[in-house]
Amino acid sequence: MMRNVRSTAIQRSILVMVAVALAATAAYSVSQQGSKQSSDTIAREYRASGPTLSLRLSQPESGVITGATVQRNPSTGRIARVRGETPVPGARTPREAADRYLRTYARVLGIAPNLRDVQAFFHNTSLTGDHLRYQQVVNGLPVIGATISVHVNKRLAVVRVNNGTVSIKAKAPAARFDNRNGAIGAALAALNVPGAPMAAPTASPAIYNDSSRPVPVWLVHIETREPAGSWEILVRESDLKVLRIVNRARFVDGDGMVFVPNPVTTSGQANLTDDNDADSPALNNERVAVKLKDLDGSGFLQGPFCSTAPTDMQPRANEPSLTYNYLRSDDRFEEVMCYYHIDTSQRYIQSLGFTNVNNRVQGMNANGSTADNAWYSPGTGNILTGSGGVDDAEDAHVILHEYGHSIQDNQVPGWGAAHEGGSMGEGFGDYWGVTSFTGIGPNSPAWDVYVATWDAVSYNPGDPAYLRRLDSPKHYPEDMTGEVHADGEIWSACLWQIRDIVGATRADTMILESHFYLSPDAGFVDGATAILDANEALYSGADQDAILQVFVDRGILVDQRITKLSAAYLPCSAGQSVMLSAVLTRVYNGSPVEGKDITFSVAGTVIGIATTDANGLAEQAYTIPLATPPGDIPYEAVFDGDADANASSANAALYVIKLSSIAGSVTDSGA
Interface with Zn ion by CB under 5 A: which residues?
A: 426, 429
* Cis bond before residue 173 (omega within 30° of 0): no
Residue with Cβ nearer Zn ion (482 or 629): 482
58 neighbors 371 (Cβ within 8 angstroms) = no
Residue with Cβ nearer Zn ion (103 or 485): 485
Residue with Cβ nearer Zn ion (151 or 468): 468
Phi/psi-derived region of residue 182, left when phi > 0, alpha when psi is between -120 and 50, beta in every other case: alpha
Residue with Cβ nearer Zn ion (405 or 554): 405
Q: Starting at the edge strand that comes first in sequence, how are the strands of the sheet with 597-602 ordered?
A: 570-572, 648-656, 631-639, 597-602, 605-611
CB of 429 to Zn ion, least distance (A): 5
Q: Give CA separation, 333 vs 50, 79, 133, 340, in Å.
A: 40, 52, 48, 11
Looking at the chain, the number of H-run helices and the number of E-run strands are 14, 30
CB of 521 to Zn ion, least distance (A): 19
**Phi, psi at 304, each rounded to 5°:** -70, -25
CB of 405 to Zn ion, least distance (A): 6
Strands 648-656, 570-572: pairing kind = parallel
CB of 450 to Zn ion, least distance (A): 16
Q: List the end-to-end C-alpha distance of the chain, in Å, as a whole number.
A: 88
Phi/psi-derived region of residue 8, left when phi > 0, alpha when psi is between -120 and 50, beta in every other case: beta
CB of 401 to Zn ion, least distance (A): 6
CB of 378 to Zn ion, least distance (A): 12
Residue with Cβ nearer Zn ion (430 or 636): 430
CB of 426 to Zn ion, least distance (A): 5
Closest CA to 172 of 216, 115, 140: 216
CA distance 622 to 633: 12
C-alpha of 625 from chain center: 69
CB of 448 to Zn ion, least distance (A): 20
**Phi, psi at 130, each rounded to 5°:** -120, 150
Q: Give CA separation, 92 vs 131, 149, 154, 157, in Å.
A: 15, 19, 11, 11
527 neighbors 514 (Cβ within 8 angstroms) = yes
CB of 414 to Zn ion, least distance (A): 16
Residue with Cβ nearer Zn ion (304 or 429): 429
Residue with Cβ nearer Zn ion (246 or 424): 424
C-alpha of 27 from chain center: 16
535 neighbors 527 (Cβ within 8 angstroms) = no
Residue with Cβ nearer Zn ion (242 or 407): 407
CB of 428 to Zn ion, least distance (A): 9
**Strand, coil or helix: what is 40?**
helix
Residue with Cβ nearer Zn ion (51 or 488): 488
Residue with Cβ nearer Zn ion (398 or 637): 398
